[in-house]
Every structure is written in C-alpha cells, then in structure tokens.
Amino acid sequence: MNFKILMFSHEYPPYGGGAGVVASQFIKELSSHNNIKVDLLTHSNVNKELFCNETYHVTLKKGMWLFNYAKYIKNNINLDNYDYIICNDIISIHIAGLFFSKKHLNKTILFLHGSEPEYFIEEKNIKYFMFFNQFSFKRAVKHSKKIVCHSKYMMKKFESSMKDNDWFGKTKVIYFGYDSEIFNKGAKSSVNNVELNLLTVSRIEKKKGFLRKLILFNTLVNELKVDAHWDIIGTGSYIDEFKDIVKSFNLKHRVKFLGNVKRDRLKKHYYKCDLFWLLSEYKESFGLVYIEAQACGTTVIGNNSYGVKEAIINNQTGFLVDNDEQLIDIFTQKKYQYIDSDECVKFASQFTSKKATEQLLNEMNIL
C-alpha cells in the first residue's frame, strides 16, 4: 500500500533552526521507503527538496502570514490527497488549528519541539489575543491524530500546561534524532596547539549562556593559566555585542567566530575539540546538538536541568553541571580526558533520525 504525507514546516533549511533540520531529516528518512511520497509546505526560500515529491513555497507578507498560508493552501493544496499531515513547528500548528477542518486535523500529527506551551498558552500579549493563540492550539490538540514530544521533559511540560484532557492518549515521546550519515566517529585532530580546545555550536543569543561561558573562559585563561581556545559556530542577534565583550576581555586571539558551517562539515569541528559546551538559560526540551557531538565521540557539558538531562549521561558521556565551581573542577582536573569516546557514540546511537522515523511510522501504522 502506498502512502502520501505532507510535511508542513514553516522553518526549513536554509531558514530557521533546529525544527527545520528535523523536518528535512524526517523527509529524507520517510522518502527512503518506496511506498511513501512526501510533499513539503514551507515559507523557506528553498529549491525543490531532493527527497520531496513536491515542494510548496508560500510567499509571506509582513503581518499577513496567517492569511497568506490559509489562502495558499486553499488555492494550491488538496489536503484530501494526503494520508497524513505532519505539523512540524509552532507556525504550522497555529495555521492548522485555525484553518484545517476537523477531518484534516484527524490525520494530522503535531510535533512539539519545546516552546509551544509558552507561545500558545502562557504568553498573553497582544499578539496572543489578535491571533487566537490558545484557541488554535487547543483545537489542533483536540482533533489531531497524535502529539509527538521531543523528550520526556517536553511531554510533561505540555501535559501540565493543558487544563483539559483533549490530549489524553495521544502523546508519544520520540526523540527527533540526528543524521548518522553526517555525524559519526572519526579520528581526533587538533589545529590549535593548546591544552584545551572548546567548541560551541548554537544560535548566538543572550540566553544561550555565552556571557557566563566567557567569564568562565576568562577565569581559566587569565587566573588559572589554562592554555585554552574556544571556537563558536553560529550566528544570532547577540553576536555583535558579544564580539565586543570578547574584545574588551582581550580574548579575541583565543575566541574564534566561525559563523554558520554546513551541517556536513560540522563533524570536523567536533573531531578537533576536547569539549563541547553549551550552558543555555532556556528551558531546553532536549538538546540535539549534544547528541550530534557525542555521535562524533566528543565529550559534552550542559546544565543539569530540563530536557538536557536526557541528552547526557553524567560522568559517562559528558557532564551535567549545577554551578560554575563544578565546571572549573572539570577543566582544571581534566576530567574530560577520562570520558570514553566509544561510550559517547554508543549513547548517541539511540537517537538517530532513522530510529525516530521507524517509531513515527509505527505510530502511523505504516510499518
């Protein structure tokens, strides 16, 4: 039997962040099955996706995105033609909740990445009322076929935010996974002849913990005399301000901004570092970047909180830290040298996009 799936994802490479990457990975894995055809609906200015049967690109006008999507779907896409519809991010869920019929929602799967409860339920600003946030979300949840959460933490967060039981029996944890063809173990190498090479791959936003890391890095280099180097991959709204702060610390020669790096080249940077660290202040639902690093055999450090606790085995594949003193101890005692890279790879192998797709197909009763 053949199946047709519509992947609806506002975010999609080259636009957006992790949600878009998840969409592209699922499209790749789903399309590898001969009996499945996947179409993509997005606003991202992407050429025809290699693994897609059809790519629908919506042109959005400022302040009119809700109606741009609704009009485009009505005029260009027959939702009756699909066996399943996947709403991969906040915008797609919002559109579906407002404009999909109950019949179409009944075959829709909602992917929850992390901030959905805040966007739809908790943040009661003017946009919340103007765009009917809570109404759209509750309607999508009530009539959807399945609600897929990126982690156990995310599922608890979602369920605790809902005052009714419209979600009951629909939630399922599926860790969205990493592409094992891109991220895998290789030979360690170092381009910086220093004692400690650090790496961060992240959007450069204030709440991603960059200032905290810089203060710690300064302590290591200038007070504890650790010969260290820090590579940062990514861009974001905080980058210019943060570069100035790095310069004011006289650390410009030790902190290198590499900008955006193509995903198929990221693993080379994981091979070069001794430690990957990301100390986000957000309530991260999981942290796929930690898994990608570990898949390359790299030791990782994250905060001992929220969904990050599901992405690292403390003292076995990396470190979950509660305070700066623990971080300093890890660096000065070189505890990272005792982490077995094979253990990192073994742990990460549980979270491949291929395994996530198999779980999703089981939920769809396709496998």
Identify whether 159 is part of a domain.
yes
Q: Are 335 and 217 contained in the same domain?
A: yes
Q: Are 92 and 220 contained in the same domain?
A: no
Which is nearest to 65 in space by CA: 29, 99, 35? 99
Identify whether 334 is part of a domain.
yes
Q: Are 219 and 105 contained in the same domain?
A: no
The number of folded domains in the chain is 2
Select the more confidently predicted residue: 126 or 196.
196
pLDDT given for residue 147 in this prediction = 96
Separation of alpha carbons 338 and 221, rounded Å: 22
pLDDT given for residue 134 in this prediction = 83
Q: Are 155 and 221 contained in the same domain?
A: no
pLDDT (average), residues 125-137? 69
Q: Are 125 and 214 contained in the same domain?
A: no
Question: Of all residues in the chain, what percent carry a pLDDT higher than 90?
Answer: 78
Phi, psi of 192 (to 5 degrees): -105, 120
The SS3 call for residue 107 is coil
pTM: 0.92
Whether the per-residue pLDDT at 132 is higher than 80: the answer is no
Identify whether 187 is part of a domain.
no
Q: Are 220 and 337 contained in the same domain?
A: yes
Identify whether 186 is part of a domain.
no
Q: Are 149 and 214 contained in the same domain?
A: no
Identify whether 188 is part of a domain.
no
**pLDDT, tens digit, for every residue of 97-129?**
999 999 999 999 999 998 888 878 766 665 555
**pLDDT, tens digit, for every residue of 141-189?**
999 999 999 999 999 999 998 877 878 889 999 999 999 999 999 887 7
Q: Which domain holds residue 157?
A: 3-177+353-363
Separation of alpha carbons 351 and 292, rounded Å: 9
Q: Are 48 and 89 contained in the same domain?
A: yes
CB 229 within 8 A of CB 262: no
Identify whether 184 is part of a domain.
no
Identify whether 189 is part of a domain.
no
CB 166 within 8 A of CB 138: yes
pLDDT given for residue 327 in this prediction = 96
Q: Are 88 and 212 contained in the same domain?
A: no
pLDDT class of 232 with cuts at 50, 70, 90: very high
Q: Which two tokens stand for residue 224?
A: 């504890």
Q: Are 302 and 160 contained in the same domain?
A: no
pLDDT class of 349 with cuts at 50, 70, 90: very high
Q: Are 256 and 224 contained in the same domain?
A: yes
Beta strands in 224-298 (DSSP E): 228-233, 255-259, 275-277
Whether the per-residue pLDDT at 313 is higher than 90: the answer is yes
Identify whether 227 is part of a domain.
yes
Select the more confidently predicted residue: 18 or 337.
337
**pLDDT, tens digit, for every residue of 44-84?**
777 666 788 899 999 988 878 888 999 999 999 999 999 99
Domain at 212, CATH number: 3.40.50.2000
Please state, in angstroms and as integers, the Cα–Cα distance from residue 311 to each residue in 145, 181, 214, 253, 303, following that order: 27, 20, 23, 32, 11
